[in-house]
Structure 1
Amino acid sequence: MMIADKIIILKEGEIYAQGKADSIMNSCILKEVYGLQAQVCRFAGFSKPVIVPLEMG
């Protein structure tokens, strides 16, 4: 099931990044925008990236 063809990431009410999730979603963006330390992984059988938090706070 696909929910969206493209995503928009907002930071402080402004567009920070936009495009296909697999091309813009990365650990640097997650850290800078959301303060989330995570790894963006790609697994066989999944068409979209999977976000794995590295620390829980």
Structure 2
Amino acid sequence: MTDVSEDQPKTVIERMVSGGINRDRAAALIADGWVRTGDEVIRDPDAVAEKYVIAPGVTEHV
């Protein structure tokens, strides 16, 4: 397992988990199209999220 430093971009799922969302729940939300970065819907949990992730309750489902 490799460490991800603060300098390196984190994946969408890493950002969600670090924000307190259970990994399984985060994966389900991503797969169902409930997660965005900016105005882009993210469906790949391993996609790099440079800054932030918007999860349900803040965005509309597509």
TM-score by length of 1: 0.29
Which structure has more strand as a fraction of its residues? Answer: 1
Higher relative contact order (CA 8 A, sep 6+): 2
TM-score by length of 2: 0.28
Which structure has more helix as a fraction of its residues? Answer: 2
